[in-house]
Amino acid sequence: MGHVYRAKHIESSREAAIKILLSGLSERKDLVFRFEREVAALKAFTHKNIVGIYGNGVYSDQHYYAMEFIRGTTLRKCLKHEPLSPFAAIHVARSVLNGLEAAHERGIIHRDLKPENVLIESFRFGQAIERSRVVLVDFGLAGIANGSVDPHPNLTRSRVTMGTLNYMAPEQHIDAKHVDHRTDLYSVGVMLYECLTLELPMGRFALLSERGIDVPRALDACLVRALSTDVKDRFKTAREMNEALKKVAMEMEARRGSQLNLSFDSPQKASSASSASKTALPAKESQKSNLSEIVMTHLGNIWPLKTWFFGAGALVLLLALFRFMKH
Ligand SMILES: Nc1ncnc2c1ncn2[C@@H]1O[C@H](COP(=O)(O)OP(=O)(O)OP(=O)(O)O)[C@@H](O)[C@H]1O
Ligand SMILES: [Mg+2]
């Protein structure tokens, strides 16, 4: 429906992204309505996990709005070659849920969550995803509860045929107009599963533990709940799902900590812990724990050597002083 351009505000030199409704579409009242609804949804609030809007207008019959430029990439691109580490996947899901919590509180339902609409900001090359800002964009399908009645009911149906079906909750397939915020929680479940497996959870999907992914069982339970076909079985709010994922993250953090402690304790225990962690963590993570293991082992060897060295030096100095005083 639109094109997004990278732009620079001439006076302030500030970078911006400008979304322009495709020329020729300004005649289409339904699309103009959708575009304006996107602007209204974004203008409603500022939140670090939702793209900020600078302004909007019509120029030469073309509708546009300007928003902050997110320097980074889409979640889709991050998933091109390998799954995310469990830490990164949970960070992304929790950030999305943070943004959704704010949107849902204002009666805004995104309705089109998918990896293309999640941006990962990175300031420097190689920045870990688990430390990056995650930003939601594309509120073009946002439903505004208690807001103006949608005069273009076919809007969402047309989007259904545009290929975002896989992320939509079952009730959205049936009646896209009358869904509530829990439809977004389903989409977050799909994205989280995809982030960890690169596959979509279709039908009776395999749990992470069944696939041999070593994550706390509680994460399986979170996914099952988020992906329930019956809305009533899902998390009630974005905050509730966020809290559940926070507990999973804490459990993973505690495991990581105890693995490192083990490697401190004894080299033998450390090597068995590290082989366990190789299955538990994706490549980069296991490299990290191997590295800390190596550093720790080396520190263990180096410090006694240093102690001997300084001890011997001090003794030589003392002897020299003693001889000097004797003369
Ligand atoms: N604020 C932004 N900063 C940087 N890149 C952005 C920004 N907004 C969008 N993009 C890029 O442009 C792409 C398309 O943006 P967006 O999802 O809003 O449009 P769209 O999918 O074409 O929308 P529509 O469904 O309305 O046609 C995004 O996937 C992202 O790569
Ligand atoms: Mg999009």
Residue 212 shares a structural domain with residue 84: yes
Residue 209 shares a structural domain with residue 301: no
Residues 6+ away with beta carbon under 8 Å from 262:
269, 270, 273
Domain range spanning residue 313? 283-327
Residue 288 shares a structural domain with residue 312: yes
Choosing from 15, 46, 68, the residue where a domain stops is 68
| Distance separating alpha carbons of residues 36 and 148, to the nearest angstrom | 12
Residue 103 shares a structural domain with residue 115: yes
At 290 the pLDDT is 35
Ligand number nearest CA of 63 is 1
Query: Which element (helix H / strand E) includes 67?
Result: strand 62-68
Q: What angle do CA 31, 143, 176 make, to 5 degrees?
A: 85
For CA atoms 52, 56, 59, 61, give the dihedral sign.
positive
Residue 52 shares a structural domain with residue 198: no
Residue 23 shares a structural domain with residue 54: yes
- Classify each residue of 87-102 as buried b or exposed e, where b means 16 or more C-beta atoms within 10 Å of its C-beta: bbbbbbbbbbbbbbbb
Residue 161 shares a structural domain with residue 89: yes
Ligand 1: distance of its center to the CA of 42 in Å?
13
CA-nearest of 7, 69, 65, 4 to 32 is 65
CATH code: domain of residue 61:
3.30.200.20
Ligand 1 pocket check: which of 3, 4, 34 to mutate, most ligand atoms within 8 Å of Cβ? 4
Q: Which two tokens stand for residue 316?
A: 């030589």
Ligand 1 atom showing the smallest separation from residue 112 Cα: 25
At 145 the pLDDT is 58
At 52 the pLDDT is 95
290 CB neighbour count, 10 Å cutoff? 16
If phi over 0 gives left and psi between -120 and 50 gives alpha, with beta otherwise, what is residue 72? left
230 CB neighbour count, 10 Å cutoff? 8
User: Cα separations (Å) of 159 from 3, 163, 177?
Assistant: 16, 7, 12
Which one-letter amino acid corresponds to residue 265? D
| Distance separating alpha carbons of residues 112 and 252, to the nearest angstrom | 30
Q: Which two tokens stand for residue 35?
A: 């575009």
Check if 69 has its Cβ closer than 6 Å to any atom of ligand 1: yes
Ligand 2: distance of its center to the CA of 141 in Å?
10
Number of domains in the chain: 3
* Domain-located, residue 185: yes
Task: Kindly give the confidence (pLDDT) of every residue in the chain, 327 residues in length, as a single tens digit, with 9 standing for 90 and above.
Answer: 789 999 998 888 999 999 998 877 778 888 888 888 889 888 888 999 999 999 999 988 889 999 999 999 999 999 999 999 999 999 999 999 999 999 999 989 999 999 999 999 986 667 799 999 999 999 877 776 544 434 444 444 445 434 378 999 999 888 877 789 999 999 999 999 999 999 999 989 999 999 999 999 999 999 999 999 999 999 999 999 999 999 999 999 998 888 777 666 655 544 444 333 333 333 344 333 333 333 332 333 334 455 667 788 888 888 888 888 876
Residue 110 shares a structural domain with residue 241: yes
Are 118 and 74 in contact, with CB atoms under 8 Å apart? yes
- DSSP character for 61? T
Is 120 in a helix, a strand, or coil? strand
At 293 the pLDDT is 33
Check if 121 has its Cβ closer than 6 Å to any atom of ligand 1: no
Residue 248 shares a structural domain with residue 314: no
At 312 the pLDDT is 85
Ligand 1: distance of its center to the CA of 138 in Å?
6
| Distance separating alpha carbons of residues 91 and 239, to the nearest angstrom | 14
CATH code: domain of residue 249:
1.10.510.10
* Domain-located, residue 269: no
Q: The tokens 């929680």 sit on which residue?
A: 185
* Domain-located, residue 56: yes
| Distance separating alpha carbons of residues 75 and 195, to the nearest angstrom | 9
Q: Residue whose CA is closest, atom 10 of ligand 1?
A: 4
Check if 65 has its Cβ closer than 6 Å to any atom of ligand 1: no
